[in-house]
Chains A and B, each alone.
Chain A
């Protein structure tokens, strides 16, 4: 045990070193952040002081804070790109808000306000190109204006650094827009407006929500980016700041021609001028130093001392403390023309391709010699079926699926990427985000099998009453990820994942299936701490393409609301979704999809359950399955997954390449996914007649060379278990297209796509047609060389289109497996053309006389579709029993024969 712990520790240390070395702590799947960051990172330092002028004219100066701010990237930014802003030396913050963004972050003390502003901090420039509070974006009025405040809330009027005009009872705009803002000018009350000047020059008075730019609507679907970030007790902190271009925020108007800045204002407290004698209420308000101790939280959203709050970031002494980071926006990529008359050519399938598809499509539509490429995301199986039925020219899949037609399907490796388990976990006591999550297959199995109780509601679940409530309470998790909060949250009992069929779920569960400890747990053996699997999932067959919701437990409770909405508790916890993008969004928003919020709705007079509230910053804990592309694009943290026992691998180029190294083309026998995981009966098949067709073409008429093109490379998780470098979530996405009976024009498009995607599409970058972060480029040489070569061969084969086989399967084959081959033999030509999948009336009738045995014909019809795979157990048990019976017979006979002659002999 100790040795294992030591090994783990040693590994943690090495992982940490690697991580920091690569600068991956926050941008886990980023391809080469070091190099990119060094291109345009930016550092600036400033010393901040707060001074009070005493009534005798002397000054009191607080100890200075020397703040250093660093930005990870400042040049050629794209809209919604997240850049890391980190700082040291700031005043520690107190009273942390549950959400630091926008106006929700106002009730904090000594935070670091980060804003995006138009203009640069250069006094030599004309005023309209300089950064000013009026060009800084905020999403709400409360963040920029103080309207009709009493003198206890008007500390800015004593700002020692402010111009006298700014200290008046009403200030900020001259002339004051009393007609627009009648409520702002109220007798005895103080108002300061920080108007917003849009890129168009239009001035918004910012006295109420009606006088704000259109992008600043209350309750907008698009969350605010500006943040009042928290500094830990050592004075350091960091955030991912989302930059907006003029596409996202037209009024702010940052683009390749208009320079902008990220303005970082560490709130250090307002410097106050000489007080009146005796000191007025506002004088003392200005001199306040905060009610919250460093590191504390203010989730109740109580009032804070205004003089140290982020609300007055525009006040002269705060504004003077700003550190400006100039940024430049990249040229917007050339985009497709909506009037392009060419119909789009849809490729259907894997969501893993989402980020690549976005960057690739302009490279096709803008080239007249190419075509209008379009990625339609859906489950791998659905995409495959559409491709086979002719609904789509090609599919994006990550494994070869069960073939329903007779045409061979070429599998061209197109991209190397994969899935990740993304997470948001905050360290306790506002010590920042946790960035080093490690997960074993058993921990993931515990989440997927719903073996954590979630809350006291789950305690009544039979057969696992002693299990931990959530992952944070599980000793296994605590040992692996020490130092985290152990406060139970329902979201800690769930891994947000996909509800529908997916190759990702297949690979994730295969990773679990190859781990002895995880499978022991799933099979019912308690883990070393006594936790047992949820009986509903005991001995569940793994791997599987679709994760089922098997629990049936409805808790007994005294809660009126829950009584009225009685439903399966663990299903509400898991609440899987239909798209990976939804998981990414949930992680970005810190909003678990747990559906256990129960409330009375007075408008309808009913009780209802719905999604829980967003998690509060500082106590977030959430995990979800996401694509590596999304992880890199949105800067979502990704967990290190266990490869070899005790070795945890994060997704990065090296670990993806190591996994590709392990990949081998699957043997023909395992060519179909449909039979895997025991869910064959649920596999979506379009054609009842073809459903009875064999998984693999019995005798491909095309030879071994072509046969190789129809096979996928598989990552055997058993190999991963022996590797110290390979990332278990590595997946190859294939362009799957028919090698026969694809229209010539479509075939040419697919071949063109494969060739382009595997050459210029593998150039890393953010431009049109380039490969986004989160993908490992496929190269001619090296680990990915085999993929490249296969892709080129498949492209050739797709373009050439193999001629149809000259002859039907031979009669002997039909005889050997009568129920299957008869139907395919008859239907070879018709299956594809009849969309309904009906066997045409006349064909079976004709088949009767020609067929070898009439009973053989009757058989396939007699077997209704769902029964073909109705009982796999039966299918296997029958022959086994038969053999056993025969063995018994043989044995008895043998014994008799053996025993009898010996009698006389001896």
Chain B
């Protein structure tokens, strides 16, 4: 064979191959891309009830998937109602904070009534403590409390805001005498269950005598001053109302965020007071254990013991997941192929793209392991009904903000989570930042290697504690001695006492290193200055005016007389 013929043969082969491949390629191209109406998935409306803890984001997801032709109806009502409705077969799914309990705290059955189901984690979040506490008409927005203090407040052991334990939590900043009114849920609530579970695990000696037994409850045993309200909305209304001064209640972080209301920074194991932002919740939940036994009825439910004690300085202790309960029986009387498809695609959206908005709405996106586990549960819908199409609905195609395709095992969010500010540490601060704004309180330091790296020289050089100055008349802390040993300019705030006798702080520029310290000054420097000028001027006028008047009055008759 000559060289030329060889080339010719090669060419003809190539052409032939191209002819063969091209149509296949075109065919492939025509099937990819946006679905054509002919390929449209058939959906049918699904209905659910349950948790108000996760309701705000679920409602947003429902609005989102409407554009995909999915109709989902979710009406809240509380986790207990959700589980009950699902068991009675009146809904297609339920959302609950806790799994079926077998028997509930009152001894009533809490089971699925024989209906086959699976738990599917849908969104993470922090149970926040929102409160209204005013000092001299100013709302406190940076309260911090330890878990023990919180447990004592909700079990009526600490009943006044001037309690020394609260002052101690706030680095000595004392609050005025005002009775504490806990606001609890009156309906069967997963938020209550999460909160009481945390108390039961972390402070059994406080919780159990109050409850009279051990374990969690969905119905808070309200006593004494506490107020019961139905639904998270109403808890929020009661606290934010004008009569709410002195109240504190528990709701998902999204509620105070939505209302622009402060939340308590809760003390974690590392000694930092932190807010349940998406970052702090994500960090805390890295220690969540998931029941991995597929044969257990509690498969995929959460074991949060290590979350409560997570030693990362960023971890928010009372973090948890919400679950969707989906029917997996192949003969489930309510389910059809179209409904299962809707459920599968609704969950696919929620676990993936839907998680991107968890942060802005006050929740925290689910990490990979839970998304992965969620897909395993969705797969059960296909097991029940082979006609369900799960093609391409997997982790790889998932638009979830906590992981990227390159390294699936890392929780991206927990890695970029900012470290808490130095003034958030026990014995320091408190920071002047407002809470409930979805902004992490931080000095801007971020770990580079993912290990917990506390900001500021922790332990080695304890904060130079200047005793807070309390105004003798109002009981307000007017200076909280913002001292950060790590700050470059070590000269701390200079305390000046001006003519009006009010103590005010004028920290130097270096103080701007960390969040602005406690702000509850009885007066601002600018105010006192201007007011003292005004006072002086008025005094001068007061002294001079009678004389002038007298002169004027004395002279008049003289003029007339002339």
Contacts and interface: CB of A to CB of B under 8 A. Distances in A.
B442 A882 contact: no
Given A358-B67, A575-B234, A889-B537, A500 B524 contact: no
A844 B530 contact: no
A354 B62 CA distance: 12
Nearest to B49: A221
A640 interface: no
Contacts of B361: 378
**Interface size bracket, A side:** 35 or more
Task: Count chain B CB atoms within 10 A of each CB in A334, A610, A861 and give the residue with the most.
Answer: A861
Interface string A217-251: 11111100000000000000000000000111110
Contacts of A896: 548, 551
Contacts of A576: 237
Interface string B330-353: 000111101100000100110001
B43 A568 contact: no
A681 to B, nearest CB: 8
B238 A571 contact: yes
Interface stretch (A26-34, A341-349, A621-629): A341-349
A536 B242 contact: yes
Given A362-B67, A549-B237, A341 B397 contact: yes
A899 B552 contact: yes
Contact of A841 (B34, B434, B513): B513
Given A368-B33, A906-B562, A346 B357 contact: yes
B260 A609 contact: no
Contact of A217 (B90, B219, B234, B241): B90
A735 to B, nearest CB: 18
Contacts of B48: 221
B521 A864 contact: yes
A77 interface: no
Nearest to A906: B559
B259 interface: yes
Contacts of A392: 360
A881 B63 contact: no
A854 B509 CA distance: 9
A499 B130 CA distance: 15
Contacts of A476: none
B258 A337 contact: no
Contact of A864 (B236, B258, B517): B517
A550 B240 CA distance: 9
A330 interface: no
Given A219-B85, A550-B242, A862-B525, A836 B67 contact: no
Interface of B, secondary structure class, is: mixed
A846 B88 CA distance: 68
Interface stretch (B151-159, B310-318, B538-546): B538-546
A329 to B, nearest CB: 14
A17 interface: no
A551 B348 contact: no
Contacts of A45: none
Contact of A337 (B34, B339, B518): B34
Given A368-B33, A377-B63, A878 B527 contact: yes
Contacts of B551: 896, 899
Interface string A840-865: 11101101100000100111011111
Given A341-B397, A552-B242, A844-B510, A250 B339 contact: yes
B429 interface: no
Interface stretch (A83-91, A188-196, A435-443, A866-874): A866-874
Interface in B63-78: 63-71, 73-75
A180 interface: no
A803 B158 CA distance: 57
B512 A844 contact: yes
A541 interface: no
Interface string A376-402: 111101100010000110000000000
Nearest to A841: B513
Interface residues of B, number: 131
B519 to A, nearest CB: 3
Contact of B509 (A579, A845, A881): A845
Contact of A214 (B70, B186, B334): B334
A79 interface: yes
B260 A549 contact: no
B469 interface: no
B506 interface: yes
B71 A248 contact: yes
Interface in A537-570: 548-554, 565-568
Contacts of A366: 34
Nearest to A836: B442
Contacts of A567: 227, 229, 238
B439 interface: yes
A385 B345 CA distance: 31
Contacts of A571: 237-238, 241, 243
Interface in A418-451: none
21 contacts: A210-B333, A219-B88, A336-B67, A336-B69, A338-B349, A343-B353, A344-B64, A368-B33, A374-B64, A604-B221, A608-B228, A608-B230, A609-B228, A686-B438, A838-B443, A845-B510, A861-B512, A865-B516, A867-B524, A899-B551, A906-B562
Give 3 nearest A-B pairs by CB, closest first.
A864-B519, A335-B69, A549-B241
Interface of A: 79, 210, 214, 217-222, 246-250, 332-341, 343-344, 346, 348, 354, 357-358, 361-362, 365-366, 368, 374-379, 381-382, 386, 391-392, 499-501, 536, 548-554, 565-568, 571, 574-579, 581, 595, 601, 603-604, 606-611, 681-688, 819, 834-842, 844-845, 847-848, 854, 857-859, 861-867, 870-871, 874, 878, 881-882, 885-886, 888-889, 892, 895-896, 899, 902-903, 906
Interface of B: 33-35, 37, 40-41, 43-45, 47-49, 56, 59-60, 63-71, 73-75, 85, 88-91, 106, 108, 138-139, 141, 186-187, 219, 221-222, 227-230, 233-234, 236-238, 240-244, 255, 258-260, 333-336, 338-339, 345, 348-349, 353, 356-357, 359-361, 392-393, 397, 399, 418, 432-434, 437-444, 487-489, 505-519, 521, 524-527, 530-531, 533-534, 537-538, 540-541, 544-545, 548, 551-552, 555, 558-559, 562
Given A836-B439, A863-B524, A870-B138, 4 more contacts: A339-B397, A346-B356, A819-B526, A838-B444
